[in-house]
Amino acid sequence: MSAAAGATIDAVVDQVDIVADQVVSLVLRRADGRPFQPWQPGAHIDVHVGDGLVRQYSLCSSPDTLDHLRIGVLHVPDSRGGSKAVHALLAGTPLTISEPRNNFPMRESRRYLFIAGGIGITPLIPMLEAAEAAGKEWTLVYGGRSRNTMAFAQQLEDRYGPDRIRIIAEDEVGRLDLDQILGMPRAHMLVYACGPGGLLGAVEERCMGWPPGALHTERFVASTLGAAAANAPFEVELARTGTTVTVPNDKTILEAVEEVGVRVLSSCRGGLCGTCETPIISGEPEHRDAVLSEEDREAGEVMLVCVSRAAAGCPRLVLDL
């Protein structure tokens, strides 16, 4: 995970709760007692976990209450320090963090389907709240190994009811039945999925039958469970044009490149048709489209710039544009 950019804040751990097997929730306040800056669903903070390590954790509190932030952290036995260090924290411990930043912004639509795998539930919690407050039609399907490993499952069910919140515990009813969950695309429905790569790969494959652009994913890689880095800003150098543009968290490469007047052919603008395929000269992409083959993804020679971005830890892509 990349190092934190920008200013840090001195915070204090206000409360530590065990919210599920191997999952703790931390409530953080600013050491100076002031409120945090406003943030939107999908946001995360950097947490300096010691030894120079920085981890990103999605916020799962409400954007309406800025006097504290809540994060949920899964303990991963083989992780390189991050979650272990966080699990060792006690109430009252000082902690260095960043202001909230949003790399997984929620786009406006008429309907939402949220899919969470395990600790991937965290960034979705504020999204559910926002969808509910805006009177949208929405459901959450939340899968995990067993109920006692699934953080916040009971609270969510109590708050929104079992019609909206579908808890799928593998030891009770088996795995998420994605064919059923994603078998019936709805018009103007966005799918926000968050969880481990295996789940998201399966979700992506099924979304080939959905309209372009319906799916938004946040991959929680095994080593950094609880981290959110989806849309970190990065730079794109346009080799043929000879300019460099910054791609901010709320824009795609395509949008950023078009803004400086460089032509890229596009059609669906949702990672499905392949029209915007662009050769990569250097840098590592994170493929977010639904259609490139495994070989293409691994080769990393082309990318669909209407959805895909730079991989975490790759600050600069050089494209043949």
Q: If binding is defined by CB under 8 A, does position 292 make contact with other proteins?
A: yes
C-alpha dihedral sign at 180, 183, 187, 193: positive
Residues 275, 279, 298, 299: which binds ligand FES (CB under 6 A)? 275
Kindly identify the residues of this chain, within the stretch 245-274, that bind other proteins according to CB under 8 A: 258, 263, 265-269, 272-274
Q: If binding is defined by CB under 6 A, does position 213 make contact with ligand FES?
A: no
Taking the least distance from each CB to ligand FES, the nearer of 21 and 258 is 258
Taking the least distance from each CB to other proteins, the nearer of 65 and 275 is 275
End-to-end CA distance of the chain: 28
Q: How many residues bind ligand FES (CB under 6 A)?
A: 13
**Nearest-5° Cα angle at 22, 61 to 131:** 30
Residue whose entry in the numeric block shows the structure tokens 């000269």? 281
Task: Kindly give the pairing relationship between strand 302-304 and strand 316-319.
Answer: unpaired
Q: If binding is defined by CB under 8 A, does position 209 make contact with other proteins?
A: yes
Distance CA 179, CA 159 (A): 27
Residue 242: phi and psi, rounded to 5, are 80, 25
Residues 190, 276, 280, 321: which binds ligand FES (CB under 6 A)? 276
State the minimum distance, in angstroms, from the CB of residue 265 to other proteins.
5
211 binding partner (options ligand FES, other proteins, none; Cβ < 5 to 8 Å by kind) = other proteins
Residue 75: phi and psi, rounded to 5, are -85, 120
State the minimum distance, in angstroms, from the CB of residue 18 to other proteins.
41
CA trace torsion 232, 224, 198, 228 (10° rounding)? -30
Cβ neighbourhood burial of 184 (10 Å; 0-12, 13-18, 19+):
exposed
Q: If binding is defined by CB under 6 A, does position 311 make contact with ligand FES?
A: no
Q: If binding is defined by CB under 6 A, does position 269 make contact with ligand FES?
A: yes
Identify residue 217 by its one-letter amino acid code: T
Taking the least distance from each CB to ligand FES, the nearer of 12 and 268 is 268
Taking the least distance from each CB to ligand FES, the nearer of 97 and 253 is 253
Residue closest to 247 by CA, chosen among 260, 238, 234, 237: 234
Helix runs in the chain, H state only: 82-87, 124-133, 153-160, 170-173, 178-181, 197-206, 253-259, 294-299
Q: If binding is defined by CB under 8 A, does position 187 make contact with other proteins?
A: yes
Instruction: Count other Cβ atoms within 10 Å, centred on residue 318.
Output: 16
Q: If binding is defined by CB under 6 A, does position 50 make contact with ligand FES?
A: no
Q: If binding is defined by CB under 6 A, does position 304 make contact with ligand FES?
A: yes
Kindly identify the residues of this chain, within the stretch 239-268, that bind ligand FES according to CB under 6 A: 266-268
Q: For residue 59, what is the DSSP state?
A: B
State the minimum distance, in angstroms, from the CB of residue 248 to other proteins.
21
271 binding partner (options other proteins, ligand FES, none; Cβ < 5 to 8 Å by kind) = ligand FES
State the minimum distance, in angstroms, from the CB of residue 256 to other proteins.
15
Residues 13, 53, 202, 273: which binds ligand FES (CB under 6 A)? 273
Distance of CA 108 to the CA centre of its chain: 16
State the minimum distance, in angstroms, from the CB of residue 168 to other proteins.
20
Enumerate binding residues for ligand FES (CB under 6 A). Answer: 266-269, 271-276, 289, 304, 306
Enumerate binding residues for other proteins (CB under 8 A). Answer: 182-188, 205-206, 208-212, 258, 263, 265-269, 272-275, 277, 290-293, 295-296, 302, 304
